[in-house]
Structure 1
Amino acid sequence: MTVLRLSRAKVYDLLRSRQLPSFTVGRSRRVRAEDVAAYMRNRLEESY
């Protein structure tokens, strides 16, 4: 949430729609830094 500067609800929407890959550790949902960077890069490319 902090890196993407998005609300918790929006991040969960991205996870549910599989636009942002994640994995589970116990009861916590984790997202790799590389996946966050790839998501941001793709969004920037789409905006041009």
Structure 2
Amino acid sequence: MAALRLSRSKVYDLIRSNQLRSITIGRARRIPADALRQYFDTQMEEAA
């Protein structure tokens, strides 16, 4: 949430819509660093 500067619910919306990959470890949801980079790259391409 902090890296994206988005609310918790928006991050979960992105995960549910498959725009942002995540993994579950136990009960914790984690977003790999490469998934963040891929999401940023995709957003930059769409904005250009």
TM-score calculated relative to the size of structure 2? 0.94
Unmatched tracts of structure 2, length 5 or more: none
Percent of residue pairs bearing the same amino acid type: 52
Equivalent pairs counted in the alignment come to 48
What SS does the aligned partner of 1:24 have? strand
Unmatched tracts of structure 1, length 5 or more: none
Q: Larger relative CO (CA 8 A, sep 6+): 1 or 2?
A: 1
- Specify the code of the residue in structure 2 equivalent to 1:6: L
Q: Could you say what the CA RMSD is over the residues aligned between the two structures, in angstroms?
A: 0.6
